[in-house]
Chain A
């Protein structure tokens, strides 16, 4: 087995793969009528392609790549607003590195930086807070992006800033939450979903309870999974076992990191600092009710949207996707990345047209890098 050396325990992987094959046979799933399992998290999408798990598992199993890459679902209008903030002369705009290449309608943050905006890539929102302490005459804005895994870090920073009465630090809040888009996808009649592999590190924060609706209301299994190949395969096996025995439960494969009840300190900090927006726009999925977070009134002075009059409600939200970009269809599982006409031609990781090609956790970038289909490398006909 080509990839065996890369696994922590090749023997365990082989055992799980045999078991997956056996259950797929028992269920009677085939290439024409496969079992569809969605991995929600972009980290899992990356791992599936990185380790070739889609090729190691039987044809009767198809992975559907979920919306769990925060960079990929970031709407272009939000990137434009980031650029607008970053180009203000008083602002030091701080961001995680993943986000700088996402195309806006005019430019990406990387292009804005090249044009002279003071944009700093930071590892942690703590670094942004430190920059605010070091630069009292500048406004330091942190681009708060990410799912529940990352939300506690920015919430704790806001609490710290409030405690220290730091007045030149604010967040441009784009935090989003995992369960609402899953509900949208489950309600979509086009989606074929038999079960889910749930996000490991999101669940480390929120615990298992927020997924109960998937089992209870939609009768689908979901297994919270770790990020190593054997974790993912074990979780797939657990989903299949439930499908075979007609069960639908939330289970935790990643108990070494994920407590069933989540992390109470994180949950409390997020609850203190954030509240739900009525709705938030997801690239490829549109507006989703109660899927985004905003800063509560009591922390208004740390909210870049309020501070600079930028953001939701300030401008038209309708921004057309670039012509030919089918990120939305990929995101909802209607097409595979290679079925997009721009894949590998007008859209590559070096020159991304759509957001799914930007982040290494995006389905298109992962497919491009590890999927073995590189139209750009095929001989011209």
Chain B
């Protein structure tokens, strides 16, 4: 339950609500980035950054090399798939098909 998955921030979807799109293994998902906002308050500074994503919230910045290594091992171990599947499932719930 407390696990998460590293993902890369690819765009800012709503700077006021601190929402951004992240991508992991080809799956995109909107997440909240309030917890990792730069001191400047400029969400654009997060573009390209990697973060640990937990239940739709970016909780901690990770350096790119570390993030990729972690993701690689999570995928090898089959742990990443469950998290990515949960992201997809969440989307299905919104569409009423859960």
Residues in chain A within 8 A of chain B (CB atoms):
6, 8, 41-43, 50, 68-71, 94, 96-98, 120-127, 130-131, 134, 145-147, 149-150, 152-153, 156, 160, 199-202, 204-205, 227-228, 256-259, 263, 265-266, 269, 359, 361
Contacts and interface: CB of A to CB of B under 8 A. Distances in A.
A126 B2 contact: no
B44 interface: no
Contacts of A199: 2
Contact of A124 (B35, B56, B70, B77): B56
B1 A42 contact: yes
A160 B60 CA distance: 20
A161 to B, nearest CB: 11
Contact of A156 (B34, B66, B87): B34
A153 B30 CA distance: 14
Contacts of A124: 31, 55-57, 90
Interface of B: 1-4, 17, 29-32, 34-37, 52, 54-57, 59-60, 62-63, 66, 69-70, 73, 76-77, 86-87, 89-91, 93-94, 96, 98
A121 B62 contact: no
Contact of B57 (A42, A96, A120, A153): A153
A6 B75 CA distance: 11
Contact of A266 (B35, B63, B66, B89): B35
Contact of B52 (A134, A146, A257): A257
Nearest to A70: B1
Interface centre among B2, B30, B70, B93 (most CB of A within 10 A): B2
B61 to A, nearest CB: 9
A204 B69 CA distance: 19
Interface centre among B30, B87, B94 (most CB of A within 10 A): B94
A43 B3 CA distance: 7
Given A149-B59, A204-B52, 4 more contacts: A43-B2, A94-B93, A126-B57, A127-B93
A145 B55 CA distance: 12
Contact of A123 (B52, B66, B70, B89): B89
Contacts of B34: 156, 265, 269
A127 B56 contact: yes
A267 to B, nearest CB: 10
Contacts of B66: 256
